[in-house]
Amino acid sequence: MRRPCDHFIKKAPEAFNECLRHLESPTKSCVAGRGSMKSSPPPRRRNLRTRLFVFSVVAFAIVLYGEDFTCILGTPFRRADDPPPQQQEQGGAPRVYDEPSRPHYREEDCPYIQPQLTCQAHGRPDAGYQHWRWQPHRCSLPRFDAALMLEKLRGKRMMFVGDSLNRGQFVSMVCLLHRVIPEHAKSMESFDSLMVFTAKDYNATIEFYWAPFLVESNSDDAVVHRIKERIVRPGSIMKHARHWKGADIVVFNTYLWWMAGHKMKILRGPLGGDGTKNLTEMVTEDAYRLALRRMLKWVEKNMDPRRTRVFFTSMSPSHHSSKEWGGDPRGNCYNETTPIEDATYWGTSASKSMMQVIGDVFEATGVPITLLNITQLSEYRRDAHTQIYKKQWSPLTPEQLANPTSYADCIHWCLPGLQDTWNELLYAKLFFP
């Protein structure tokens, strides 16, 4: 198995870590650390056999680790038999249209994808959104190796905790892994808010737990949670967290459900009954900060950093107004078939004030938690949403049918698609830190 570039940059591992931490910034690069790489000068005299041996070793390494030398030297090259990918022009968003190796799996081959994410089965006429690969400038992510990941997960629990976007990432991970597991050696079960995929031969589980705010709320029912007036208890987490105990890898997310307005309704007492006397309003950013701190406090008390890993996935952007990328002011993600080319694009759906809260809270804590920053790379992907190609939970009206833009889903993502990229980044941070 080829190793990523950090195995080569022995004296500057921070450079590769920086590359992974800031993939949203196309200018970050592994080559930042190459100036520290020095080698001792060769002896003045070598016999022919020694020179041939050294040349053979170097040539073998270049062939075997081509991508890794690319990351160090900053000169992209491919093997002779690699088909030439269609790459964005320099200065554009760093991505490659890679039809030969993307997608990792076919929609029809993964039975675990929910019908609200199966875009091809629901008539989407294009499939180009499945073939884009995230390619940071002058740096390559390691290829996703399902067999290696399953071996690393042997005897372990991996858990995704959050909302439907985190559930999509969970399903993506299951689809990436299940293809190398025999049919008799895997299962999927649901228990209220908990979904569990089991790889029996590995004694490993990949799980999802529904908790859209992480803390307790009136939207905690995994099925019936479309509540207009959302209420949270930012200090109460044990109702959910008791299900997370014992997990070896946890991937949290929470953002979308907080974006219901400038203020959130906060309950100081228990949910149910006449709790209105303990109900107050709080600026959304302040309530979000309380919830994140409560989550980190639980992690600090209940997870051993010597044997566990904790991740937090940043906000997933939506694309509700094509005016933001220079399109029709009346349009949205509907009928978009290509990514946004402007590398500096940042839409209004990803709140910078909320992202600042994440940065402030994580910077102030001593809890080892890794931010999985998927926001900027996802901002470009106006083409990857489910749009109208999904199961509709309510019958569509004649007015909606006449205007598909009115009911296009520009929040969730088709599978296979963008969320496989999120998991490639998670894979890199897990096993090549």
Catalytic residue among 140, 164, 318, 322: 164
pLDDT in tens, 141-159: 889 999 999 999 999 999 9
Catalytic member of 6, 68, 163, 409: 409
319 is catalytic: no
pLDDT band at 229 (very low <50, low <70, confident <90, very high): confident
Specify whether the CB–CB gap between 238 and 192 falls below 8 A: no
Give 76-99 pLDDT, tens digit per residue: 323 333 333 333 333 345 778 888
The full DSSP string for 276-296 is: GGGEEEEEHHHHHHHHHHHHH
How many Cα atoms are found within 13 Å in the side-chain-facing hemisphere of 294? Answer: 21
Residue 49: band (very low, low, confident or very high) from pLDDT cuts 50, 70, 90: low
Which residue in the block uniquely carries the two structure tokens 């294009």?
A: 126
Q: Flag the least confident range among 37-41, 84-88, 380-384, 417-421.
A: 84-88
- How far apart (Å, rounded) are the C-alpha atoms in residues 424 and 151? 16
DSSP 160-195: EEESHHHHHHHHHHHHHHHTTS-GGGEEEEEETTEE
Distances (CA, A) of 150 to 101, 156, 183: 20, 10, 15
- Tell me if residue 412 is catalytic: yes
- CA of 67: how far to CAs of 19, 140, 384, in Å? 15, 7, 27
Mean pLDDT of the chain: 82
Query: Which tokens is 325 given?
Result: 């990328």
Query: What is the number of other CB atoms lying within 10 angstroms of the CB of residue 320?
Result: 18
Q: Is the pLDDT of residue 105 over 50?
A: yes
Q: How many CB atoms lie within 10 A of CB 341?
A: 14
**In what order do the strands lie in the sheet containing 279-283?**
216-217, 231-233, 263-267, 279-283
Does the pLDDT of residue 36 top 90, yes or no? no
Taken in order of first residue, the domains within the chain and their CATH numbers are 95-431 (3.40.50.1110)
- Cα(92)–Cα(88) distance, integer angstroms: 6
* 116-146 tens-digit pLDDT: 999 999 999 999 999 999 888 777 788 999 9
